[in-house]
Structure 1
Amino acid sequence: MRLARLLFYTQRFFRPRSLKWQLVWRLVVLQVVLLTLMIVILLAGLTIAGVIPDNYEGRAIDVLRKTVRKDDAGKLTLKEGPLLAGLRAEVPNLWFIVRDTEGNKISEGEVPRLLIDIPSSLDYINDATFVKQFGGTQTSATVQWADTAAGRVQIFTGAQGEFHYMALVSITPELFTDIILPVGGVMGLATLIVIPLVVRNAFKGMRRAATLAEKIDVEERGVRLPIEAIPTEIAPLVKAVNGALDRLDKGYERHKRFLIDAAHELRTPVAILNTRITSLPATPERARLLQDTARLSTLTDQLLDIQRLGRQTQQFTRFDLVAVARGVVVDLAPMAFAAGYEMSFEPARGELFANGDRTAVERAITNLVQNAIEHGGNAGRITIGVNSPATIEVSDEGDGVPAAEREKIFEPFYRLRPRGHGAGLGLNLVHEIMQIHGGRIELAGSDRKGACFRLVFAQA
């Protein structure tokens, strides 16, 4: 359980984090560190310059309060140790007088000449601070009552020493809790509010570029990411992406021109070849050659259809799906009968209208029927149905499409049987036609015999 929890927190800590929050917490830490250094350096500078005197009197009173004791005879004494030794080291000219309420007294060092009259008046003083100046000499002292292990005592001292870094170290906890923590907290809170807003505004251009990038598709070429309002640190990446899109578009156009030119160049020799084969005597070899040239002609027509679809700019018109499907059945019925099939045309209505390119839709239905003739097993029935709303189905009674191949058959140049006669463009062309029409092609479920392709059009 502990190991799982450790792994959970480790993954959370090391997973990619938001740039915004990385900036926030690093700025907060930097602000607190800089604020601490600034205050420490300022106090040290002012102390060295004498603007802020070292509070050795307060330190001396604190040390004396902690070390004063009474011996067995009831006399005041000091407990020797690190505290007292440290004070004497910091203040070479240490002097003090410690008195209790019973008149016992312990003293060390000599009272400065400017304060020599103060000890005789200590009976009448509660707490006080004295500062006397004569010529260029200034002397200060403090009188303070304190509760100690020896009871309540009066401490009179005027400890003055040279600057010592330990003086700053001793006040660091109070400095942190009284100044650094409140000010740093306010600055950190301001950072938590301001930085996310600043980063969000700075990345506004990136969000717009990301929105455009989501729209880039093989059919939406020419889209480029905007460089305006993009942070200068990220602009090189956006420019590189735009450059890559330029190169991809040029490569796509070269590839497309190659296919189109190849189709045009093939069309004439295929027609000549077909004419010459037709003039030969009627033999089985002549029939097979005519079949091969027909497939080659179909391939060139499909390539040119892809070209026409890619450049389609005309407005769609309203046409009758039933009439188009009936025309395809009439044209391809002899081919289907010759291949060993029965053919059935089953319109649900006498007329069913859709919007689109009549010629392209006719090509889509033709490709599906030719596909059924090719893969239907040369037996059974090929059925063409027209149903509401605006749906055409072409089904056969062959082996169908294996489940592993169902997602691949609409890819260009993909063939269900590698040794088949087709080029693998028919179903891809149908898919492209349906996309242009705002519809889709579906392959019906595998619980039925054979394959059933369904064309679903947008309603007119």
Structure 2
Amino acid sequence: MTRSPSLKRPLIVYPLVFHFLTLLVSFAILIAIALRVDSGGPYTDEQIIPIIAQAVERDAAGGLTVVMTPDLADLRGKAPDLWFVAEDDGGASVVFGRVPEHYASLLGRLSDLSYAQMRDRVAPHDLAAVIRRENTDIGTLTILGHGPLSELGFMVVFATNTIILPIFILLTLTSLVVTPWIVRRSLAGVSRIAREAEGINADSRGRRLSEAYVPQEIAPLVRAVNDALRRLDDGYERQQRFIASASHELRTPIAILASKVDAADSTAVRALALDVQRLATMTEQLLDLHRLENNRQDEAIDPAEVGRRLVGDMAPLVIANGGSISLDVLGNEPCIGDAAALERVLMNLVQNAIDHGGTNVVVRVLGTAFEVEDDGPGIPPTERERVFEPFHRLRPRTTGSGLGLNLVREVMDQHGGRVEIRDAPGGGTVFRIDLGTV
């Protein structure tokens, strides 16, 4: 079975990849511009500022002094030409190493500055220096220093990677969490019309899917489905009109044919009586199906009364075939339904029992359910669904139209009830129809 495509890939994965590639290209362009604008050359690594700040302390007189910490010693080992000036906001300062005379004018005025990155134009770049303010235990210090040098390219790449990764992670979380919510909210109308479509069947013609609740991109599909439903309804109506018209038109010639067969002197002609009766029965059953579809008339039904009328009407036919029929009322609950259709159902079940070898027929009323039991040969379990198909016969016979049990199923479906076939305790078949709460 082919798996239906999901919207997760086009709506989540693809945009996420696009966002990531866009970020990469954007930052690459920014890096290229930064490197292009810059004149090139190394810068003093700003990581020296925290190390210097940790090494500056106050002496007993309140001035500043430098303590050789392990980190400062390690930094001096890496950069023998290390020098710096540390100054607090009160004007106290301390100098470490040889400060180039180019920066002499800044001594005593560093606290006026907060940030600077400076370098000279030619190697060995002894004038490269950085100015930063740093908060320490002895107060805020402004530090001017020179130490290990770093290339701008590495610094920019490191900085951009530090920025791009959190942004990409944020975009990923947004795509994985927010996008599915947006998709579900946007396609809520699709779920609604899916529920509407589940309620459409052969008994609910004329219904259409709502177009007002779906996105514009899906609306053409909904309109196409509605057009298809409309065409199916039109075709069904034409079919029903044809069946009704054909059945009505057949009744008169069949009645004339039956009368002529009965009045014929020829034995061969009179032998056609069964075939004519079968044709008449089929015509009436087709009309019954049409009336059920188009002229159903629900009313209050007394199941026991329906059973009594049925047995009274069918008794002569059963007795004429050498059998017997009885009524057993075990419970009686009024219900709503089409009384004429229900009587036709019971008549078909009794006729079916007689046609298939039953001699003793029992009709039971059990609340809103009926049972018709016979003592015939029974129906194999493998055939108990197929016997309700139109024109299906369990055994080849010259009588019967093959529509009787199909009519039973159709009537019960129309009433929201059910029909079951069971084995009779003493052999034979029990047809049970249950109208439920209709």
Question: 2:427 aligns to what SS in structure 1?
Answer: coil
Give 1:174 shift.
5.1
Query: What code does the residue aligned with 1:246 have?
Result: R
Question: 1:34 aligns to what SS in structure 2?
Answer: helix
Cα 1:362–1:253 shift into 2, 3 Å? same
In 2, distance between residues paired with 1:143 and 1:345?
114
Give 1:292 shift.
2.7
Question: 1:409 aligns to what SS in structure 2?
Answer: helix
Give 1:352 shift.
5.2
Per-residue CA shift, 1:295-345, capped at 9, x if unaligned? 22211111111111111354x222322222222222222322333433333
Match of 2:48 in 1: none
In 1, distance between residues paired with 2:349 and 2:339?
16
In 1, distance between residues paired with 2:166 and 2:314?
87
Q: Is the 8 A contact 1:206 1:230 kept in 2?
A: yes
Give 1:348 shift.
2.6
Give 1:208 shift.
1.6
2:314 counterpart of 1:336: no
**Runs of at least 4 residues of structure 1 off by over 6 A?**
154-160
In 1, distance between residues paired with 2:8 and 2:195?
20
Query: What code does the residue aligned with 2:330 have?
Result: A
Question: 1:372 aligns to what SS in structure 2?
Answer: helix
Per-residue CA shift, 1:396-420, capped at 9, x if unaligned? 1222222222222223333323555
Higher mean C-alpha deviation, range 299-308 or range 351-360:
351-360
> How big is the alpha-carbon RMSD for the aligned residues of Structure 1 and Structure 2?
3.8
2:124 counterpart of 1:141: no
Query: What code does the residue aligned with 1:298 have?
Result: T
Match of 2:362 in 1: 383
Q: Is the 8 A contact 1:141 1:157 kept in 2?
A: no
In 2, distance between residues paired with 1:210 and 1:393?
39
Gapped regions of structure 2 (runs ≥ 5): 46-77, 83-98, 104-115, 131-144
Give 1:395 shift.
1.6
Match of 2:200 in 1: 216
Cα 1:41–1:338 shift into 2, 3 Å? same
Match of 2:421 in 1: 443
> Residue 324 of structure 1: which of 294, 297, 306 is its match?
306
Question: 1:217 aligns to what SS in structure 2?
Answer: coil
> Residue 407 of structure 2: which of 424, 429, 433 is its match?
429
Give 1:57 shift.
4.2
Match of 2:278 in 1: 295
Identity value in percent:
39
Question: 1:443 aligns to what SS in structure 2?
Answer: strand
Give 1:371 shift.
1.0
What does 1:173-252 align with in structure 2 at a 5 Å threshold? Answer: 175-176=160-161, 178-252=162-236
In 1, distance between residues paired with 2:252 and 2:117?
117
Cα 1:296–1:156 shift into 2, 3 Å? closer
Query: What code does the residue aligned with 2:160 have?
Result: L
In 2, distance between residues paired with 1:46 and 1:289?
105
> Residue 417 of structure 1: which of 375, 386, 395 is its match?
395
2:35 counterpart of 1:47: yes
Give 1:233 shift.
2.8
What does 1:260-275 align with in structure 2 at a 5 Å threshold? Answer: 260-275=244-259
Q: Is the 8 A contact 1:383 1:396 kept in 2?
A: yes
> Residue 14 of structure 2: which of 7, 26, 32 is its match?
26
Cα 1:248–1:419 shift into 2, 3 Å? farther
In 1, distance between residues paired with 2:7 and 2:423?
47
Cα 1:242–1:54 shift into 2, 3 Å? farther
Give 1:31 shift.
1.7
Match of 2:295 in 1: 312
In 2, distance between residues paired with 1:396 and 1:312?
32
Cα 1:297–1:459 shift into 2, 3 Å? same
In 1, distance between residues paired with 2:150 and 2:311?
116
2:34 counterpart of 1:56: no
Higher mean C-alpha deviation, range 267-276 or range 20-29:
20-29
Cα 1:49–1:335 shift into 2, 3 Å? same
Per-residue CA shift, 1:336-360, capped at 9, x if unaligned? 23334333332236x6533222211
Query: What code does the residue aligned with 1:346 have?
Result: D
Size of the aligned set, in residue pairs, is 365
Query: What code does the residue aligned with 2:313 have?
Result: D
Question: 2:328 aligns to what SS in structure 1?
Answer: strand
In 2, distance between residues paired with 1:129 and 1:199?
49
Match of 1:356 in 2: 337
Gapped regions of structure 1 (runs ≥ 5): 1-10, 60-96, 102-116, 122-127, 134-138, 145-153
Match of 1:407 in 2: 385
Higher mean C-alpha deviation, range 415-424 or range 14-23:
14-23
Query: What code does the residue aligned with 1:224 have?
Result: R
Higher mean C-alpha deviation, range 39-48 or range 214-223:
39-48
Per-residue CA shift, 1:219-248, capped at 9, x if unaligned? 111112222232233233222222221222
> Residue 256 of structure 1: which of 237, 240, 249 is its match?
240
Cα 1:173–1:417 shift into 2, 3 Å? farther
Give 1:390 shift.
1.8
Question: 1:348 aligns to what SS in structure 2?
Answer: strand
Query: What code does the residue aligned with 2:387 have?
Result: I
Q: Is the 8 A contact 2:376 2:427 kept in 1?
A: yes
Higher mean C-alpha deviation, range 332-341 or range 359-368:
332-341
In 1, distance between residues paired with 2:203 and 2:126?
89
Q: Is the 8 A contact 2:203 2:414 kept in 1?
A: no
Question: Normalising by structure 2, what TM-score?
Answer: 0.71
In 1, distance between residues paired with 2:174 and 2:327?
75
Query: What code does the residue aligned with 2:17 have?
Result: V
Query: What code does the residue aligned with 1:175 have?
Result: T
In 2, distance between residues paired with 1:458 and 1:441?
11
In 1, distance between residues paired with 2:342 and 2:410?
11
Q: Is the 8 A contact 2:119 2:129 kept in 1?
A: no
